[in-house]
A and B are shown apart, each in its own frame.
Chain A
Amino acid sequence: DGGITQSPKYLFRKEGQNVTLSCEQNLNHDAMYWYRQDPGQGLRLIYYSQIVNDFQKGDIAEGYSVSREKKESFPLTVTSAQKNPTAFYLCASSIGSGPLYEQYFGPGTRLTVT
């Protein structure tokens, strides 16, 4: 089956620890994205990558880091510098980048930091 997988579905961490969220796609898409969703709110873009070995900051990149070493993988690290890390994290991908191409989303990872 083609699609986007995110693991794990639920993740719990202690404050002060870095944590890495996984995102894998087998759709052969060039572009990948990370969004954050808080309760009752819309999605906000954290980082996006148009191509392997290249990525750009989105609206709320502070406290996050990413890598894009392989086309199919775009892991997100939530660092201890992120002040409010508890949220629902969504990964997406698209064939190309820009408004012409629809983004397809994974099932999300719900991160809780205590």
Chain B
Amino acid sequence: DAKTTQPPSMDCAEGRAANLPCNHSTISGNEYVYWYRQIHSQGPQYIIHGLKNNETNEMASLIITEDRKSSTLILPHATLRDTAVYYCIPNSGYALNFGKGTSLLVTP
């Protein structure tokens, strides 16, 4: 699986959009880009995934660059409950390889 680079931490004001970047320059053609988040001491929560096209669901939007070497997860109106560690995971098999992720802090 491709290696990823995410900023270790980010802050976002409540009500503003949170844009979380991920670099996956070694991603292969059959790897989907998955995003999960984990609130301390809880199980990870699935957010969204995509292959080539941008995707949107009720939680977030996923923007994947045309060369697929990077992606951005967008939480359009962050709330305090969005404070969590966010993981970007290229996946072509069965195992989800969680790296260190980005710790997002949403502030009032």
Q: Flag if A103 contacts B43 (CB, 8 Å).
A: no
| CA A104 to CA B45, docked complex, whole Å | 7
Contacting pair A107 B43 (CB below 8 A): yes
B49 contacts the other chain (Cβ, under 8 Å)?
Answer: yes
Interface readout for A69-100 with B: 1 if CB under 8 Å, 0 if not?
Answer: 00000000000000000001010100001111
Residues 28-52 (chain B) with a chain A CB within 8 angstroms: 30-32, 34, 41-46, 49
Interface membership of A16, Cβ < 8 A: no
Which secondary structure dominates chain B's binding surface? loop
Q: Name which residue of chain A comes closest to B1, CB basis.
A: A99
Q: Please determine whether A45 and B43 come into contact, CB atoms closer than 8 angstroms.
A: no
> Is A48 on the interface with B (CB-CB < 8 A)?
yes
Number of interface residues of A (CB under 8 A): 28
Q: Using a Cβ cutoff of 8 Å, how many contacts connect chains A and B?
A: 57
* Main SS at interface, chain A: strand
Tell me the smallest distance from the CB of B3 to a CB of chain A, in Å.
Answer: 12
Q: Which of A45, A102, A103, A107 contacts B42 (CB 8 A)?
A: A107
A33 within 8 A of B: yes
Contact B46 A104 (CB under 8 A): yes
Instruction: Please provide the 7 A-B residue pairs with the shortest distance between their CB atoms, ordered closest to farther.
Output: A42-B98, A105-B43, A45-B95, A43-B98, A99-B91, A102-B46, A99-B32
Known: A42-B97, A45-B94. 4 other contacts (CB 8 A): A45-B95, A99-B32, A102-B46, A107-B42
A-B residue pairs in contact (CB < 8 Å), sample of 16: A33-B95, A42-B98, A42-B99, A43-B97, A45-B95, A58-B95, A59-B95, A88-B41, A90-B43, A92-B43, A98-B94, A99-B30, A99-B93, A105-B43, A105-B44, A108-B42
